[in-house]
Amino acid sequence: MAGGVKRGALIGCGFFARNHLHGWQDVEGAEIVAVCDLDHEKAQAVGREFGIAGVFDDAARMLAETDLDFVDIATTPPSHRSLVELVCRHGLAVICQKPIADTYAEARAMVEAAEAAGVPFLIHENFRWQLGFVRIKAALDAGRIGAPRFARLSFRHGFDVYATQPYLATIERFVLMDVGIHLYDVLRHLMGEVSHLACETASLRPGVAGEDSFTSLLRHSSGAVSVVDCSFASTIHPEPFPATLAWIEGSTGTLELTTDLRLHIHAAGEKVVESADPEVPAWGARPWHTIQDSVIRFQAHVVDVLNGRAEPQPSGRDNLNTLALTLASYDAMRERQLIDIAQWQERQ
CA dist list (Å): 50 to 5, 31, 90, 231, 344 = 18, 11, 25, 35, 45
Q: What is the pLDDT of residues 237-276, one digit of tens each?
A: 999 999 999 999 999 999 999 999 999 999 999 999 999 9
Same domain (yes/no): 181, 193? yes
Euclidean distance between CA atoms 151 and 104, whole angstroms: 26
Same domain (yes/no): 105, 220? no
pLDDT for residue 165? 86
Of 58, 89, 124, which residue constitutes the final position of a domain? Answer: 124
Euclidean distance between CA atoms 260 and 85, whole angstroms: 42
Of 124, 158, 178, which residue constitutes the final position of a domain? Answer: 124
Q: What is the pLDDT of residues 123-138, one digit of tens each?
A: 999 999 999 999 999 9
Euclidean distance between CA atoms 348 and 339, whole angstroms: 17
* pLDDT surpasses 90 at 20: yes
Is residue 345 one of the residues assigned to a domain? no
Question: Mean per-residue pLDDT for 198-225?
Answer: 97
Same domain (yes/no): 132, 118? no
pLDDT for residue 347? 85
pLDDT for residue 348? 67
Tell me the backbone φ, ψ of residue 259, rounded to 5 degrees: -65, -20
Is residue 294 one of the residues assigned to a domain? no
Of 78, 104, 124, which residue constitutes the final position of a domain? Answer: 124
**Under 8 Å between Cβ of 302 and 122:** yes
Domain of 19 in residue numbering reads as 6-124
* pLDDT surpasses 60 at 307: yes
**Helix H or strand E encompassing 28:** none
Same domain (yes/no): 92, 161? no
**Under 8 Å between Cβ of 154 and 216:** no
Mean per-residue pLDDT over the chain, rounded: 97
Q: What is the pLDDT of residues 65-78, one digit of tens each?
A: 999 999 999 999 99
Is residue 116 one of the residues assigned to a domain? yes
Same domain (yes/no): 255, 323? yes
Q: What is the CATH number of the domain that holds 32?
A: 3.40.50.720
pLDDT for residue 102? 97
Same domain (yes/no): 118, 136? no
By CB atoms closer than 10 A (0-12, 13-18, 19+), residue 138 is exposed
* pLDDT surpasses 70 at 288: yes
Same domain (yes/no): 132, 27? no
Q: What is the pLDDT of residues 140-196, one digit of tens each?
A: 999 999 999 999 999 999 999 999 889 899 999 999 999 999 999 999 999 999 999
Same domain (yes/no): 111, 184? no
Is residue 27 one of the residues assigned to a domain? yes
Which residues does 297 contact at the CB level (< 8 Å), separation at least 6? 126, 129, 130, 131, 134
pLDDT for residue 214? 98
Q: What is the pTM of this model?
A: 0.96
Is residue 300 one of the residues assigned to a domain? no
Neighbours of 200 (CB within 10 A): 15
Q: What is the pLDDT of residues 29-55, one digit of tens each?
A: 999 999 999 999 999 999 999 999 999
Same domain (yes/no): 30, 179? no
* pLDDT surpasses 60 at 1: no
Q: What is the CATH number of the domain that holds 145?
A: 3.30.360.10
Question: Mean per-residue pLDDT for 323-337?
Answer: 97
pLDDT for residue 49? 97
Same domain (yes/no): 80, 134? no
pLDDT for residue 2? 62
Q: What percent of the chain clears pLDDT 90, i.e. is strictly above it?
A: 97
Question: Mean per-residue pLDDT for 72-99?
Answer: 98
Is residue 162 one of the residues assigned to a domain? yes
Same domain (yes/no): 176, 102? no
Is residue 282 one of the residues assigned to a domain? no
Same domain (yes/no): 14, 52? yes
* pLDDT surpasses 70 at 319: yes
Is residue 23 one of the residues assigned to a domain? yes
Structural domains of the chain, count: 2
pLDDT for residue 289? 97
Of the CA atoms within 13 Å of residue 201, those in its CB half-sphere come to: 24
